[in-house]
C-alpha cells in the first residue's frame, strides 16, 4: 500500500480511503464488513464516513451504527483505521429543534460529535470534518469548538469538505490568527468528468499545505462499463444525462467520451474504472482517493488501479477525451 502524509502534518494515510456513503444501500452488512476486513489486509488505513450516511430520511446515522457493530468485533478493527466522520447536515433529532438545521454552531459540533461517537461505539475519531462550508457562524465559535474537542482527545485533526478556494484560504487565515493548525484536508468532488477543482481548489490546497482527497472518482459509476451497458439494479444504471459541477453534458457527448475511454482502456488491457482511478493515482496533487466499493471484487480492482502507471501519452489522451479547465487560474483563462 502507498501512504502519504495528510497535508502539513505527520499523519500517514493510505492513498485509498474506504468510503462508506453507500454502505447498506447496495450491499448488506456482511459484505460491508468483508470489504473493511479486506481493506485492513491490503494495508488501507483510511476509513471515511459521515453522520448523514444511511439511506435518506429516517435512516441518517445508520452507517455509523454499522461501523460501531463492526468495531465491536474487536481484533484491532477500530485501531487499524484513521477514522473520519462529518457534521453539518440536519440529523432529524427532534430534541435539537431549530439547532438541528445545517450549520457549524458550537452546539451543532458538540452535539453531532457526541452522537457519532455513541453510534460508532468509540471515544474518538482521528479526524472530524465539516461536510460543507459555513458562512454565517463566526470563526471564533467554530474554531473554539474544534479546539475544545481536540483538547478533550475526541478528535486529533479537523478537515473540510466541499469548500471553495476562498473558503479554504479564509479558514487557514483564521486558524493562523489563533496559532491553530486548522483544517488539514479538503474532500472534494473530482473525476475525469469533474475537473473544475483544477482551476482554483487544487492550487489553493497545494499553497495552503492542505491535503486534497477526492470523492466520486468514478462519477457515481458513470466512468465504468456499466454506463455504456446499464444493468438493472446497479449503481449508475439508467443515467442518460449526468450533471456535474462543469454543467450538464448531453447523452451524445457523454457516450462519445465513454466509448473513447473504453477504447483506450481496451488498448491498455484495463477496465474503464481502472483507468479512471489510475488517472487520479498518477496525479501527485491528489493525496487520497475515497472509493465507495460495493463488493470485495471492486476493492480488489481499486487496489490494482493504484499500481497502474499511465505514461505521459496516455495522460494526454485522457486530457483530450475529458478536457479540464486548462490548468489553474489565471493561466487557464483563454486570451490572457
Task: Report H helices in 97-240.
Answer: 106-120, 139-151, 165-177, 201-208, 225-228
Task: Report, as residue numbers or ranges, the catalytic residues.
Answer: 53
Q: Model's pTM, two decimal places?
A: 0.90
- What the block records as the C-alpha cell of 49 is 464516513
| Per-residue model confidence as pLDDT tens for the chain (336 residues) | 999 999 999 999 999 999 999 998 888 999 999 999 999 999 999 999 999 998 777 788 899 999 999 999 999 999 999 999 999 988 888 788 888 888 899 999 999 999 999 999 999 999 999 999 888 899 999 999 999 999 999 999 999 999 999 999 999 999 999 999 999 999 999 999 999 999 999 999 999 999 999 999 999 888 988 888 766 555 444 343 344 433 344 367 788 899 999 999 999 999 999 999 999 999 999 999 999 999 999 999 999 999 999 999 999 999 999 999 988 998 888 755
Give whole-number Cα distances, 307 to 286, 300, 319, in Å. 15, 12, 20
Return all residues near 244 (Cβ < 8 A) that are at least 6 apart.
Answer: 189, 191, 193, 194, 219
Amino acid at each position: 500500500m502507498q501512504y502519504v502524509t495528510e497535508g502539513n502534518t505527520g499523519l500517514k494515510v493510505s492513498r485509498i480511503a474506504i468510503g462508506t456513503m453507500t454502505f447498506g444501500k447496495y450491499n448488506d452488512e456482511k459484505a460491508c464488513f468483508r470489504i473493511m476486513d479486506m481493506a485492513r489486509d491490503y494495508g488501507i488505513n483510511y476509513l471515511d464516513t459521515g453522520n448523514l450516511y444511511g439511506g435518506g430520511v429516517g435512516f441518517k446515522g445508520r452507517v455509523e451504527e454499522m461501523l460501531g457493530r463492526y468495531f465491536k468485533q474487536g481484533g484491532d478493527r477500530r485501531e487499524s483505521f484513521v477514522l473520519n466522520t462529518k457534521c453539518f447536515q440536519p440529523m432529524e433529532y427532534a430534541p435539537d429543534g431549530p439547532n438541528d438545521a445545517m450549520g457549524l454552531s458550537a452546539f451543532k459540533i458538540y452535539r453531532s460529535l457526541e452522537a457519532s461517537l455513541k453510534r460508532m461505539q468509540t471515544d474518538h475519531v482521528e479526524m472530524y470534518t465539516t461536510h460543507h462550508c459555513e458562512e454565517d457562524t463566526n470563526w471564533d465559535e467554530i474554531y473554539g469548538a474544534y479546539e475544545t474537542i481536540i483538547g478533550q482527545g475526541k478528535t486529533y485533526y479537523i478537515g473540510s469538505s466541499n469548500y471553495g478556494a476562498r473558503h479554504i484560504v479564509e479558514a487557514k487565515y483564521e486558524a493562523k490568527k489563533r496559532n491553530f493548525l486548522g483544517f488539514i484536508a479538503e474532500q472534494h468532488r473530482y473525476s475525469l468528468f469533474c475537473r473544475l477543482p483544477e482551476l482554483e481548489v487544487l492550487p489553493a490546497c497545494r499553497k495552503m499545505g492542505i491535503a486534497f482527497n477526492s470523492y466520486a472518482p468514478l462519477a457515481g459509476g458513470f466512468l465504468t462499463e456499466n454506463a455504456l451497458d446499464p444493468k438493472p439494479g446497479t449503481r449508475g444504471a439508467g443515467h442518460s444525462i449526468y450533471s456535474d459541477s462543469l454543467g450538464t453534458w448531453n447523452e451524445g457527448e457523454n457516450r462519445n467520451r465513454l466509448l473513447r475511454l473504453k477504447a483506450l482502456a481496451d488498448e491498455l488491457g484495463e477496465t474503464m474504472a481502472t483507468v479512471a482511478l489510475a488517472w487520479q493515482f498518477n496525479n501527485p496533487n491528489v493525496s487520497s482517493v475515497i472509493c465507495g466499493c460495493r463488493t470485495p471484487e471492486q476493492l480488489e480492482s481499486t487496489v490494482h488501479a493504484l499500481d497502474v502507471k499511465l505514461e505521459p501519452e496516455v495522460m494526454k489522451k485522457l486530457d483530450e477525451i475529458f478536457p479540464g479547465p486548462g490548468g489553474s487560474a489565471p493561466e487557464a483563462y483563454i486570451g490572457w
